[in-house]
Structure 1
Amino acid sequence: MIKGKKILVVLPVSEGQKERLEEFADKSCFTYTSYKKATKKMAEEADIIIGNIDPDLLEYAKNLEWLQLNSAGADAYVKKGVLPEEVVLTNATGAYGPGVAEHMLAVLFSIQKKLHLYRDNQNQCEWQDEGEVMSLRGGCALIVGLGDIGLYFARLLRNFGYRVIGIKRRPGQVPQGVDELYTMEHLDELLPEADVIFSVLPETKATKNIFNAKRFREMKNSAVFLNAGRGSAVNTEDLCQALIAGEIYGAGLDVTDPEPLPSQHKLWNMKNVVITPHISGDFHHPATLYRIVDIAAGNLKRYCAGEPLMNVVDRETGYRK
């Protein structure tokens, strides 16, 4: 049992999920709250925090030993001065595959079948034919950032006959559901092959504006670009110009730069863009919170046993080690 630790949980957990978390620690150690309701006093008292607390409160968390995020991205928490080096930082990589991948597949299909245009027409009470559409089957998909989300997306696309190419930071064995695997150095030579490009990149110095005017020009003019990683991976102005010029067919964005996207931004009014407000990785999909709780509970068990924690974040890269 974890003795004498005060554990702050910043997650909308059910009673059953509380029991799952408390299995390896005395119940009196736990405080449950939300992101908006977490206080300076709660942060001051916590030895362990489970969930994405407001980074500004962490300066008061002088007793903190370990922060378990409920997100896969850790960009707000790896900035200098946010967390002392001795605090272990873990993320929720592995929780978001179904939620994000299924959402972005729906966005892709909407673009390919012009369903977003027909919804716009419906809102205007217009009976209008929008012309030729794409087939849902076949083609080549390039997944840039082949983690849990990328792999889940790859396996979904394989059901529709896609050839799937993955890009990772480091070389390794080609995972099941992927046809070919490369590293980032091969991005430029792979972009011209892809009918669908899916970015699932985190926010790091290396990924900022990686999709820019040069790379949009390398894509097919029939390509669909999807982004569900971080908006900072895309130069938004360059994306707009590529869409206007017809250098790519369309874009599906669950993340943007800036975010939230200003109401007057020209992206909102582009007919070949589908935008959702960074919600694919939230708790909307029923599997997501269960997976997060499983990751946190597994790490509590390891913490209790003095074993190394899973999903430890590298502070320099922002990725899981």
Structure 2
Amino acid sequence: RARLAAAVPGTELTFVGMKKVTDQQIARADAIIGNLPPERLKHAVNLNWLQLSSSGADKYCAPGLLPAGTVLTNATGAYGPAISEYMIGVVFALAYNLHKYRDNQKNRLWRDEGPVRPIADSTVLVVGLGDIGRAFASRIKAMGCHVIGVKRTPSEKPDYVDELYLMDSLDTLLKRADVVTLSLPRAPETDGLMDEARLLAMKKDAILVNVGRGSAVRTEDLCRVLASGHLKGCALDVTDPEPLPPEHPLWAFDRVMITPHISGGNNVRETVERVQAVVTRNLRAYVSGKPLENLVDFHTGYKAH
């Protein structure tokens, strides 16, 4: 609060909790900072700018949700370091069966869980090279992996990947990868991306990590593939549905690690500080009439380039 107020002295700022904000306050605001439930934005008749605290913006891109001319910005750039470190952690945990040893410890069971494969020299397929994918690719490459990047739009190959392809090459690339990571925003072209055919196209002992949107993986297909013995393991910080119901069969697989969408959230102080920095810079720019950073393209739900 003090940081924002100091950034724009003399500007009227109203600080209110998400559950306490009134329809009248929403209607009066010409700028809103925070992820209000989309259905409440029907009251935002004077809105010029909406700044999200998340990197995902798909829920706010529906036609007619925001007044015409409203600028939408997100917090891309704040989440890469924390989420990429989470990804590194779960890849190593699955590769070395650490999740199984933790289960054994709870059962006071001294048992060797079999051979493991070092991560160094593995082929890692990074699907989605936004803030999160870039941060992960650079870290895993530094550990001696061969990194293949897949992205939506063409560009020159950056140093943090060894190979770079567009999404239409995904089916061929899945067969090569020891580790596949998904860090994709929700969009029509990413919903159901990893269906049964693509999951089975992965190596039998491959590892799958999803930190983007749960909808990128068809959950029922994943359950069938796991039940068949395919895949060494997977780590899911996002699921479909979310939250995952207690009775869902996905919980039962011992080679699946499930976390409740926490990899880059408010539990990481540095992430909160990075979000605050993005918001502060944009608030200062908005008040002074300068261009904002992290503009979102309403047609794609991605950060505009």
TM-score interval, smaller chain: over 0.9
After superposing the two structures, state which structure 1 stretch, 296-305 or 261-270, moved more. 296-305
- Partner of 2:108, secondary structure, is coil
Provide the residue aligned with 1:82 in structure 2.
Answer: 65
Q: 1:89-108 alignment to 2 at 5 Å?
A: 89-108=72-91
RMSD of aligned Cα (Å): 1.5
Q: Identity over the aligned pairs, expressed in percent?
A: 47
Q: 1:21-170 alignment to 2 at 5 Å?
A: 21-26=4-9, 29-170=12-153
Query: 2 CA distance for matches of 1:38 and 1:59?
Result: 14
State whether structure 2 residue 285 is matched by structure 1 residue 302: yes
Query: 2 CA distance for matches of 1:249 and 1:34?
Result: 43
Q: CA deviation at 1:24?
A: 4.1
Return the TM-score normalized by structure 1: 0.90
Query: 2 CA distance for matches of 1:32 and 1:131?
Result: 55
Q: Is the 8 A contact 1:24 1:304 kept in 2?
A: no
Q: Is the 8 A contact 1:55 1:82 kept in 2?
A: yes
- Partner of 1:207, secondary structure, is coil
Provide the residue aligned with 1:260 in structure 2.
Answer: 243
List 4+ stretches of structure 1 deviating above 4 A.
Answer: none
Q: 1:1-16 alignment to 2 at 5 Å?
A: none
Return the TM-score normalized by structure 2: 0.95
Pairing partner for 2:268 from 285, 289, 300: 285
Q: CA deviation at 1:28?
A: 5.8
User: What are the Cα deviations for residues 286-313 of structure 1, in whole angstroms up to 9, with x where unaligned?
Assistant: 2211111221122223223322221111
After superposing the two structures, state which structure 1 stretch, 219-228 or 119-128, moved more. 119-128
Q: Is the 8 A contact 2:44 2:67 kept in 1?
A: no
User: What are the Cα deviations for residues 45-87 of structure 1, in whole angstroms up to 9, with x where unaligned?
Assistant: 2211112122222111222110000111112111233212321
Q: Is the 8 A contact 1:231 1:257 kept in 2?
A: yes
Query: 2 CA distance for matches of 1:41 and 1:111?
Result: 50
Query: 2 CA distance for matches of 1:225 and 1:38?
Result: 40
Provide the residue aligned with 1:9 in structure 2.
Answer: none
The number of residue pairs the alignment matches comes to 304
Q: CA deviation at 1:25?
A: 2.1
Provide the residue aligned with 2:197 in structure 1.
Answer: 214
State whether structure 2 residue 171 is matched by structure 1 residue 188: yes
Counterpart of 1:294, as a letter, is: A
Q: CA deviation at 1:229?
A: 0.4
Provide the residue aligned with 1:3 in structure 2.
Answer: none
Unaligned runs of 5+ in 2: none
